[in-house]
């Protein structure tokens, strides 16, 4: 089976994500490695930025496929959920127990929960023959999460290199909380949008 160009780009993003996580797994904030984080940042930017490219080419060239509709959001979720899981892990804690990424475990649970909920709602809706396209809040959420993750990698790398991170630390904190708010609002919007689906599912 020949895989079209948009799906090749999506698969390339998945490969980049795997390499990115492999490198990020070697990072430990207690033994600073600014160069390693800079490489991770470049890989993350490429993987996140090409998210719009595969979808654009698929629509422009009329090459939207079932594989692409499944694979593209899957890669998005792997990349975003994965990087925030790493941010909340011990690899981003210093010797004093402070998390350099500013990410708490409950924030990651919120992000993962939102993705699982929307995936479940979308799967049920499409199994009933109803379209379930991405809402604007979902696209905004993805964009903000990507910006936040990139800024965290940048700020922590600067701190590792002994470069003063101000005022980036304030921007990082603001983006983290904006991500939490937008992710929550996006989840609420999808729940409201899916009221009829939930009502049908609860009928005997």
Domains of the chain by range and CATH? Answer: 5-201 (1.20.120)
Residue range 84-111: mean pLDDT, rounded? 94
- In 3D space, the residue among 48, 128, 117 whose CA is nearest the CA of residue 82 turns out to be 48
- Please state, rounded to an integer, the average pLDDT across all residues of the chain: 86
pLDDT value at 202 more than 80: no
Task: State yes or no: pLDDT of 55 exceeds 90.
Answer: no
Between CA 49 and CA 22, with CA 107 as vertex, the angle to 5 degrees is 50
Per-residue pLDDT at 189? 86
* pLDDT band for position 111 (cuts 50, 70, 90): very high
Tell me how far apart the alpha carbons of residues 52 and 141 are, in angstroms, rounded to a whole number.
Answer: 14
Is 168 a residue whose pLDDT tops 90?
no
How confident is the model at residue 153, as a pLDDT? 96
pLDDT at 42: 97
* Residue 128 and residue 200 in contact, taking contact as beta carbons nearer than 8 Å: yes
Residues 145-159, mean pLDDT to the nearest whole number = 95
Residue 119 to residue 77: CA distance in whole angstroms: 10
**Average pLDDT score over residue span 141-153:** 95
């Amino acid at each position: 089976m020949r895989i079209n160009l948009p799906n090749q780009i999506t698969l390339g993003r998945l490969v980049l994500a795997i390499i990115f996580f492999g490198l990020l797994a070697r990072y430990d904030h207690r033994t600073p490695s600014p160069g390693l984080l800079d490489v991770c940042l470049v890989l993350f930017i490429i993987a996140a930025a090409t998210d719009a490219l595969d979808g654009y080419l698929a629509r422009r060239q009329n090459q939207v496929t079932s594989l692409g509709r499944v694979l593209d959001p899957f890669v998005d979720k792997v990349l975003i959920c994965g990087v925030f899981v790493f941010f909340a892990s011990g690899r981003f804690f210093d010797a004093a127990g402070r998390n350099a990424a500013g990410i708490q475990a409950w924030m990651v649970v919120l992000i993962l929960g939102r993705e699982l909920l929307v995936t479940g709602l979308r799967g049920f809706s499409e199994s009933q023959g109803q379209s379930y396209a991405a809402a604007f809040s979902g696209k905004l959420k993805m964009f903000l999460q990507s910006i936040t993750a990139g800024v965290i990698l940048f700020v922590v790398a600067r701190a590792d290199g002994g470069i003063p991170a101000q005022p980036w630390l304030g921007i990082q904190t603001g983006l983290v909380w904006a991500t939490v708010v937008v992710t929550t609002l996006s989840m609420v919007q999808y729940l409201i949008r899916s009221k009829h689906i939930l009502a049908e599912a609860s009928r005997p």
